[in-house]
Amino acid sequence: MTHPPLKIADRIARWLPQIVVAPCFAAILFFVYGFIAWTAYISFTKSKMLPNYNLIGTRPYERLFQMDRWGVAQENLFIFGILFIAFAIVIGCLLAVLLDQKIRAEGFIRTIYLYPMAISFIITGTAWKWIMNPSLGLETVVRSWGWESFSFGWTNDANLAVYALVMAAVWQSAGFVMALFLSALRSVDQDIIKAASLDGASPWKIYMRIILPSMRPVFMSAIVILSHLAIKSFDLVVALTGGGPGYSSTLPANFMYEMTFRRNEIGIGAASAMIMLATVAAIMVPYLYSELRGKKHV
Amino acid sequence: MSDQATFNQPRTGASIALRVLLWAVLIVFAIWFLLPAYVVVGTSLKGLEEIRGGSLLALPHELNFSSWRHAWSEACIGVNCTGLEPYFWNSVGMAIPSVIISTLLGALTGYSLTKFKFKGANLVFALILFGCFVPFQVVILPMAVTLGKIGITNTVYGLILVHSVYGMAFTTLFFRNYYVTIPDELVRAATIDGAGFFTIFRRIILPLSPPIIVVSVIWQFTQIWNDFLFGASFTTGGAQPIMVAMNNLVNTTTGVKQYNVDMAAALITAAPTIFVYIIAGRYFVRGLTAGSVKG
């Protein structure tokens, strides 16, 4: 030792930032990345009711993709995801633009549009299930008004149950998209708009040509967040359709839960979870990468 | 910002018609958003005869709160006819410690990552950030095994651990994005004056933090209260949080289906987060948009 050793207190002080980050970081490393590795491993084993650590290669994945239930779940996710994202964005965007027209009582209306975000999907599902009740729900009410062919018992129809999920999920999330867009609308450069309107551009043109295009990053954020929500959707299915009739409205998250906790097919459950992770990663990693990199340039 | 163009134009017939259309659309959507709330509250106040005989949209004949009492203290969840009350307290006992732990750790981690940028801080942040977006299905199974090994399966401690860990990713994101906006000079000046890590945190950073603490607490509370997946995966019977118990109550099939009690149960279960939303909606929105990474 050539130079005098630092006092222990000084050393601790120097490393304090790292020491403080350590618990959080270690927990994430173990409970997120460690667990992902664990699930990945299990997805290559013949685990049934209990984890079994003998590797059997890709057989669980092969079996997974042969299962009709998984095919239905993936197809449902595709339909649900596309419609949910499209409707949530169109409605959210429409409401934001409308609310931006110097509306009296804007705050009050905004509160109404946004309150579903405070509620859990379980509550949302329970409420809409009751509204869609075939004998006592909205269908009966509207028919009694004279619209005899009105049909709203979607949850009991294998062909329509997915659309019931879309409707309830859009109900829950459109207000959030509206809030996102409204705050973006309010941060558009006022001078450009003034200049355009002096040049005689109609309000419609100003929206379509200037304001909406300048909001591309918000569109991106909304799409990413909503697709993330869609892939994770689990509770809404449980409460609204129970995945039924049969398994016609099941989603991958429900498939995973069913296999893991009800059917003692842990290996298959793990394989399906890995596919879900891969789907999320395919969307999130490029997005996060561009977000984090973009920040440094600013 | 709004289009001044329409606003400055003379009030022609067309512009008035547009205004009417605008309000019509806004009101139709308001009805759509309010319909479930109206139906849930209305149904919970009706008797069963009134529900079967009358219209879904009809106002209740009288304010009958007996379903609320029944859902709170008598309704059967599986075989236990205790009502939601014990499960409500389970959720409270789970949410409060988890919110405190995850917010505290998130604040300290966010502070370290922004104001004491050590080597690799960005990588650490990126790894934590991705934790926000991992679908929880991928961690459920190992978590179930781990909770079993520690011996806290089916306890409130198990759920506190789970929610604290997975909530931390979000709280770190919130605090990190907030602390980035605090000028580094403040911290540097204090360091030169000889203030240490925790002194700076307590004296400078914490006094600037109340807005983001409120956002974090509200976000975490809402997420944890509304969680279903973890509750359903790691607890059974009397240890369940209210969200799981409520779902079981609604799906308990023994006896006559009591729609009014189901709706009262939904209302009781949703009440805490709605209450938070009503008193602190502003912060609520901020949390949602902060969750969109941008900060």
- pLDDT tens string A259-268: 988 888 888 8
Q: Is residue B60 part of a domain?
A: yes
Cα–Cα nearest to B237, from B146, B155, B139: B155
C-alpha to C-alpha distance for A135 and A141, rounded to whole angstroms:
9
Q: Which residue of A has its CA nearest to B219?
A: A118
A47: left (phi over 0), alpha (psi -120 to 50) or beta: beta
Which among B113, B141, B250 has the least Cβ separation from residue A269? B141
Q: Is residue B113 part of a domain?
A: yes
Main-chain phi, psi angles of B80, to 5 degrees? -90, 115
C-alpha to C-alpha distance for A100 and A161, rounded to whole angstroms:
35
Q: Give pLDDT, residue B294.
A: 44
| pLDDT confidence band for A4 (50 / 70 / 90) | low
Percent of chain A with pLDDT over 90: 28
Same domain, B43 and B184: no
| pLDDT confidence band for B106 (50 / 70 / 90) | very high
Whichever domain contains B215, its CATH number is 1.10.3720.10
Which among B7, B34, B293 has the least Cβ separation from residue A291? B293
Residues 85-144 (A) with a CB less than 8 A from some CB of B = 91, 94-95, 98-103, 109, 111-124, 126-128, 130-131, 133, 136-138, 140-141, 144
Whether residues B233 and A141 touch (CB distance < 8 A) is answered with no
Same domain, B128 and B164: yes
Whether the predicted pLDDT of B197 surpasses 90: no
Which among B22, B40, B284 has the least Cβ separation from residue A98? B22
Residues 93-122 (B) with a CB less than 8 A from some CB of A = 105-106, 108-109, 111-113, 116, 118, 121-122
Whether the predicted pLDDT of B288 surpasses 70: no
Residues 163-202 (B) with a CB less than 8 A from some CB of A = 165-166, 168-169, 172, 196-198
One-letter amino acid for residue A251 of the chain = L
Token look-up 């997805």 returns A43
By the CB < 8 Å criterion, does A25 face chain B? yes
- Per the DSSP assignment, residues forming a β-bridge with B77 are B80
Q: Give pLDDT, residue A295.
A: 55
Average pLDDT, chain A: 85
Token look-up 């006559």 returns B256
Provide the domain count of chain B: 2
Q: Is residue B75 part of a domain?
A: no
Of residues A3 and A221, more confidently modeled? A221
Q: Is residue B295 part of a domain?
A: no
By the CB < 8 Å criterion, does B289 face chain A? yes
Question: Which chain B residues are within 8 Å of A292, Cβ to Cβ?
Answer: 122, 126, 129
| pLDDT confidence band for B11 (50 / 70 / 90) | low
Average pLDDT, chain B: 85
Whether the predicted pLDDT of B101 surpasses 50: yes
The residue among B127, B133, B273 with the most chain A CBs within 10 A of its CB, best to mutate, is: B133
Q: Is residue B71 part of a domain?
A: no
Residue B12 belongs to domain spanning? 4-64
CA A268, A273, A278, A283 torsion-angle sign: positive
Of residues A271 and B254, more confidently modeled? A271
Whether residues A32 and B169 touch (CB distance < 8 A) is answered with yes
Q: Give pLDDT, residue A1.
A: 47
C-alpha to C-alpha distance for A187 and B72, rounded to whole angstroms:
46
Residue range A134-146, pLDDT digits in tens? 888 888 888 888 8
Percent of chain B with pLDDT over 70: 92
Residue range B229-240, pLDDT digits in tens? 999 999 888 889
Same domain, B104 and B189: yes
In angstroms, what separates the C-alpha of A141 from chain B's closest C-alpha? 6
Q: Give pLDDT, residue B1.
A: 42
Whether residues A292 and B126 touch (CB distance < 8 A) is answered with yes
Q: Which residues of B159-197 are buried (b: 16+ CB within 10 A; e: fewer)?
A: bbbbbbbbbbbbbbbbbbbbbeebeeeebeebeeeebeb
Same domain, B210 and B111: yes
Q: Is residue B184 part of a domain?
A: yes
**Orientation angle between helical segments B137-150 and A266-297, nearest 10 degrees:** 110
Same domain, B48 and B114: no
By the CB < 8 Å criterion, does A185 face chain B? yes
Whether the predicted pLDDT of B293 surpasses 50: no
Q: Give pLDDT, residue B12.
A: 76
Token look-up 């997975």 returns B166
Q: Give pLDDT, residue A298.
A: 34
Q: Is residue B226 part of a domain?
A: yes
The complex scores an ipTM of 0.86
Same domain, B30 and B134: no
What average pLDDT does this structure show over B136-142?
A: 91
Residue range B35-79, pLDDT digits in tens? 999 999 988 888 777 877 778 787 888 888 888 888 888 888 877
Question: Which chain A residues are within 8 Å of B179, Cβ to Cβ?
Answer: none
Residue range A228-284, pLDDT digits in tens? 888 888 999 998 888 878 888 899 999 999 998 888 888 889 999 999 999 988 888
In angstroms, what separates the C-alpha of B142 from chain A's closest C-alpha? 6
What average pLDDT does this structure show over A16-30?
A: 87
What average pLDDT does this structure show over B193-221?
A: 88
Same domain, B224 and B165: yes
Q: Which residue of B has its CA nearest to A240?
A: B247
Supply angle C-alpha B13, B15, B19, rounded to 5.
Answer: 115
Which among B43, B124, B141 has the least Cβ separation from residue A266? B141
By the CB < 8 Å criterion, does A245 face chain B? no
Which among A18, A261, A284 has the least Cβ separation from residue B118? A18
Same domain, B32 and B135: no
Least confident of B7-21, B129-143, B259-273: B7-21
Least confident of A160-164, A173-177, B130-134: B130-134
Q: Which residue of A has its CA nearest to B235?
A: A261
Same domain, B267 and B159: yes
What average pLDDT does this structure show over B270-284?
A: 86
Same domain, B280 and B173: yes
Same domain, B192 and B223: yes
Of residues B163 and A207, more confidently modeled? B163
SS3 letters across chain A: CCCCCCCHHHHHHHHHHHHHHHHHHHHHHHHHHHHHHHHHHHCCECCCCCCCCCECCCHHHHHHHHCHHHHHHHHHHHHHHHHHHHHHHHHHHHHHHHHCCCCCCHHHHHHHHHHHHHCCHHHHHHHHHHHCCCCCCHHHHHHHCCCCCCCCCHHHCCCCHHHHHHHHHHHHHHHHHHHHHHHHHCCCCHHHHHHHHHCCCCHHHHHHHHHHHHCHHHHHHHHHHHHHHHHHCCHHHHHHCCCCCCCCCCCHHHHHHHHHHHCCCHHHHHHHHHHHHHHHHHHHHHHHHHHHHHHHHC
C-alpha to C-alpha distance for A154 and A78, rounded to whole angstroms:
19
Domains of chain A: 67-297 (1.10.3720.10)
What is the pTM (predicted TM-score) of this model? Answer: 0.88
Least confident of A82-96, A244-258, B7-21, B279-293: B279-293
Q: Is residue B197 part of a domain?
A: yes
C-alpha to C-alpha distance for A276 and A103, rounded to whole angstroms:
42
Tally A–B CB contacts below 8 A.
283
Of residues A290 and B246, more confidently modeled? B246
In angstroms, what separates the C-alpha of B163 from chain A's closest C-alpha? 11
CA atoms within 13 Å, Cβ hemisphere of A93: 18
Same domain, B216 and B143: yes
| pLDDT confidence band for B5 (50 / 70 / 90) | very low
